[in-house]
A and B are shown apart, each in its own frame.
Chain A
Amino acid sequence: MCECCNNHKNDIYLPQLATITKRRMLNGTELYLHLEMDSGKDLEYSPGQFVEVSVAGIGEGPISISSSPTQKGLELVIRNVGSLTRVIHKLEVGGKLGIRGPYGSTYPVEQAKGKDLVFICGGIGLVPQRSFIRYALDHRNDYGKIIVLIGTKCYTMRLFREEIALWQQRKDMTVMETIDEAHDCWDGNVGVVTTLIPKIESDLPSSLVMICGPPVMYKFVLMALAEAEVPEDRIYVNLERRMKCGVGKCGHCQINEKYVCQEGPVFRYSDLALVPEAI
C-alpha cells in the first residue's frame, strides 16, 4: 500500500467545467449539446467512450460521446428521462456542466481498417454509434463500405434528420432507415431494425458489425446476425448500464464480473460468451 498520499493529488471524482456552446432539441425528448471545456483543451477520447456529466447540486450520470475526436468540441445527446437530465434540458447556451472522463472501451477503430463497417442502431443507440460513423467518414479511405441501419420507434422520434439526409446523398455510404409504426409523413421502411438486415449489400460475415440500441433489441439483432453467419468476434455491442462512478469502484455497472465502465461499454460479442447478464 502507498504510504505517500502526496504523490496522488488527483481526485478521480473531480469534474472539470465545460460550457454549452450550442443546443437544440432533436425531437421531443432528445437534446443535442455542443460543449467546450473551460480549460480550453479538448478532451482526448476515442469513438465509443462516455463521460460522466454533472450539474452541481443535482448529480452526475454517464452519457455517451456522440462527436468524433476528428472534430472540435464535445457533442452529447441527452434524453429527458430523470432528475439530472431534466435539469440539463433547462440549460441554455452559456450554461455550465461538469465533465469527467472520457471513460470506457472504444470501438475497434484500428482493427476495422480495410473492412466493411455495418452499424445497427436502435433509437438513441445512434448517438454513440455516430461517433464512429463520423470518425470513419473523416478517415474515409481507411475503411471499406460504410452501411448504417437506423430503426426508430416512431417518425417523430427520429434523430439527426438533416445529418442523415446528408449521409443519404453521399455515394460512399449506405444509410437505411425504418420506423416501427407507419406514419402519415413517412414513405420509407416500416418495421423493426432487423427487417433491414437482409437488405445489406455487403459480405456480412467479413464485415465488422456494431450494435447499439435499447436492451430488448440486442437479442433479435444477434439472432439475425447468427443466421447471416456473422462470426461473433466480428460483432461489437455497446451496452448501457448504471456507470455511476466511471472508474471501476462503485459496483453499479457490473455485468457478472465485468465492469462496463472499464471493460465496456463497447464489447466484442465473442468476449461475452460467459457473461450471461450481458444480453
Chain B
Amino acid sequence: MSVLKFTREQFENFVSAMVKSGQSVMAPQAKNGRFAFGPLQSAADLRLDYDVTILPPKKYVLPQTQTLLEFEVGGAFRSVDSSQPMILLGVHPYDVAAISQMDELFSQDQYDKHYMDRRCKMTIVALDVVTPSENVFASSMGTATVRKGYDLLLTVLKDGSVLAEAATEKGQQLLKLAGSSTPASEADLNARKAIWESNEKNLDKHVLKCKPSYLPKLLDHSYEHAVWEEMARLCYSCGSCNQVCPTCYCFDVQDFVNWDLKTGRRQRCWDGCLLENFATVAGNHNFRKDRAARYRHRLYRKGKYVPGKIGGQIACVGCGRCITACTAKIANPVEVYNRLMEDTELG
C-alpha cells in the first residue's frame, strides 16, 4: 500500500482528528519522568519519542480488571460485553509482536470473546522506535521491527516528519481522518529503511548469544541447572516481572458483590506465576511452593511452553521492562539464557 508523509504539523492535525473521532485514543505520554499509555486528550501530549512505557499496552486488550459476567447473588449469570472502539496509538514493534501472540492464544482452541471482542474493535497504530530504552533487547528477539499485527505503521524521520503506511482496511479507514499529506518519496522510503536496519541492530542493550528459535531446545537440557536456585535466592516473589510483561496473560477470576448485596460481577484480573500462591489449591496445597520452581516456570513459559502453543514464536519480545522493574535485578531473561548457553552442551 502507498506510504504517506506528514509534516509535524500535518501529523498533529491527524492525531487531533483521531482524538475528536469519538473513539478513545490510548497513546504514550510523559508520566513523572517516565512514559505510560493513557487516554490522549490532546495531540500535544503524544510522545512519539518515548523509549518504553511502564506497563505494556496489553492493559487495553487484557485489562488489569475486566468484568466477564454479571449475576444475581446465588442466582443466574449474564455475559457482559464492555468492548468499545479504540485506537491504540504509538505501539512499538515489540509490543505489537506481543499482542499478536496474545491474539493467537485467546482465539485458538477455546475462543475467548471477552478478549477478542475488545481486540476486534481496536485499531493498532504501530510506531518504529525513536529512542531505545535502557534495557531493550528487541534486536536479539527479532521484534525490533514488525511487518504484521498492526493496522497502520508510523515511522518518524530525522526531520520530525512522519511516514504512515496502512496494512489493513482498518488502517485505511483511519487514514481517512487525516487532512493533508504527500506521497512519500523514494528518499523518504530509503530513510525509513535505514531506520529499520538501524533498529534491527541497535535495540541491543542486552544481547542473546543464540537465535531465539534455539531456546526451546536449550531449555530441554536446562531443567536442573543451578541458575534457577541461585537467582531465585534473591527473588521476592513480588510478581513485578509478570505484571510489566507484554506477553504474560495469566489471570485470576473473582466475584464482587455490589452495594445492593443482590447483584454483582465476576471479574478477571492479572495474576503472576511468580506469586507465592499462584498454584495453591483449596486446602492450601501449593503445587509450586518452591521459589526457584516459580522463577524457572516463568523463563520456561517464555522460552518453551508458550512457544509450543503459538508455532514456535518465543514469548519474550525483548522490551526489557522486567529488567527495569525487578528490584532484585534477577529478571533479565538474556542473562539467564546466556548463562545456560555457556554451561549446556547440546547434542
Chain A residues in contact with chain B, CB under 8 A? 1-5, 8-15, 17, 54-61, 79, 81-82, 84-85, 95-96, 98, 215, 240-242, 244-245, 247-257, 262, 276-277
Contact = CB atoms under 8 A, between A and B. Distances in A.
Interface residues of B, number: 57
Nearest to A253: B279
Which among A1, A17, A60, A250 has the highest number of chain B CB atoms within 10 Å?
A1
A260 to B, nearest CB: 10
Contacts of A84: 282
A14 B111 CA distance: 13
A59 B268 CA distance: 11
Given A251-B249, A256-B305, A12 B281 contact: no
Contacts of B250: 250-252
Contacts of B73: 56-57
Contacts of B104: 1
A124 B104 CA distance: 37
A52 B216 CA distance: 33
A250 B74 contact: no
A253 B250 CA distance: 11
Contacts of A255: 287
B113 A10 contact: yes
Given A56-B74, A82-B282, A251 B271 contact: yes
A13 B69 contact: yes
A257 B305 contact: yes
B285 interface: yes
B37 to A, nearest CB: 21
Contact of B103 (A1, A4, A8, A85): A1
A150 B255 CA distance: 37
Contact of B69 (A14, A251, A252, A254): A14
B72 interface: yes
B120 A3 contact: yes
A12 B77 contact: no
Q: Determine chain A's interface SS by DSSP, over half rule.
A: loop
Nearest to A243: B281
A5 B120 contact: yes
Given A2-B116, A12-B112, A85-B282, A244 B252 contact: yes
Enumerate the 8 nearest inter-chain pairs by beta-carbon distance, A residue then B residue, closest first: A251-B250, A82-B282, A56-B71, A57-B73, A257-B305, A247-B110, A11-B79, A81-B283
A241 B288 CA distance: 10
B77 A8 contact: no
Contact of B113 (A11, A95, A248): A11
Interface in B71-85: 71-79
A215 B249 CA distance: 27
B343 interface: no
Nearest to B108: A248
A214 to B, nearest CB: 8
10 contacts: A13-B114, A14-B69, A14-B79, A60-B255, A79-B282, A82-B283, A247-B112, A251-B250, A251-B278, A262-B109
Contacts of B293: 277
Nearest to B110: A247
Given A13-B68, A56-B71, A250 B255 contact: no
A57 B251 contact: no
B220 to A, nearest CB: 8
B281 A240 contact: yes
Contacts of A59: 253-255
Given A17-B76, A55-B74, A82-B282, A1 B252 contact: no
Nearest to A62: B281
A247 B114 CA distance: 13
B74 A242 contact: no
Nearest to A258: B305
A250 B253 contact: yes
Contacts of A262: 109
A81 B252 CA distance: 19
Nearest to A17: B76
Which among B104, B257, B266, B293 has the highest number of chain A CB atoms within 10 Å?
B266
A215 B116 contact: no
